[in-house]
Structure 1
């Protein structure tokens, strides 16, 4: 067990992943973040219905707007676990961007290093969810893509690191960046000392992670569909997919498969475990919660098997509604 208090903002503690003190950094605006989260920081617009839905369904429900994006979802989970995450992304100087900056700060995220664009609007994500899961979603992350390498300047200009003194800490990276930029990151000396943890933003962007297979770098967090896209082959199980990703060049792969067994694969071998059975009340953000919980567990000394188990428990608590958004 990881000692500490209950998760901030949660109705219950995520099993085994309670809040504790930041990892070696004193509080204060001049201190380096505990972990960097690079990728999409935007507004999530989510419509949820308690009924089963299909194409063309018109159902009663609730529509909410929440701070979101893969990088921010991961960062918010880190903050709940007592870490101080730093964000590297693009946020517009429009009213939506100002509101998002304030919301991120209130959620415990370090926004000092965000790129604020004068001419690019703040990105958005829209999804529709039913009792039977995600029905459809559209991610408008075009501003992040157009900002490109400008969001990474703090890692090269000496603010957080440089090519000569690369940033040495953990980095959570999402696939909303372009494949060109992700390819540069995989080979960039500014990231040479970083503990890279990478996830696609969606199955449609899974192929953007191919540079990390070629570079044999980082830990890939993917679901079964995304693993199939990266390997250009269908899989029946997470262990099968994770083993194939390592065979194709991944230094390490963590593959999830909904309510079926998840798997952590590396040159050391395979570790698989089924998630707890829970009533699913939401799905958007579940993968991000899993990834963040897994990283936190390992940062606090958990072995591979324990980290996988703790991450599955945290994701189950999230989709059941036991952990607040």
Structure 2
């Protein structure tokens, strides 16, 4: 018996090999198993077979005939989840720090999806049972505002806005060192690190990645910045600021171990999100307050107000 999984390529995965995209989207499948499914014709991209090395594009619809091993049923769970706004098409949520967005190996429950299934009646089905409604993601330890699609029409509209870079995404980050310029742009391509496949890196043949930043406050050894994403690569802000030698404070993957202010995860917060409503096309914008842990660091450890 096989189940059909339909996956939509999001911006952060654009340019990945087909086999890598599927194995990372369907965490229960190894890359070697995925390669076998592709060769057997069990994978279709836009209705056609493709090679494992095919580079996926934003908007590609990938269908996978997945062997049925054990049934995975994602259960609704009564987990607190601040919902800033919702209507019949979209919901805007304020994701807490430490919450995984969707189920995967090691995190089959207590995710944002489990909470969404409890608090919201309808969610889009484009990304399958494990990722209902999920149009974009935040890392587990990045807090802040996210939009969720409640039907497939809304999902496709939001995905298209992400593809053409019309969604406004702004973050607040505390980084090491003192940035000299008040305004700056980091324009450096990002792809999988050739040294560590679990990490991203600035590489010559990577995908275009552009981040604009504005200095909000300088402290003795740190800088508080507002960052606007012009593209949406995996770990983009964390990789870009590590690349210019100003890593995000507390970042366990790309950061410096120097004076992390007792943080064990990155000081990064999705502060503002703006998009055109899928039905009315009205521009809507939402913000999430700077989280308490970051306010405490700035006011108590850096002796400044935010």
- Common fold, TM-score beyond 0.5? no
Structure 1 or 2: larger strand share?
A: 2
Structure 1 or 2: larger helix share?
A: 1
- TM-score between the two structures when normalised by the length of structure 1: 0.24
- TM-score between the two structures when normalised by the length of structure 2: 0.25
Which of 1 and 2 has greater Rg? Answer: 2
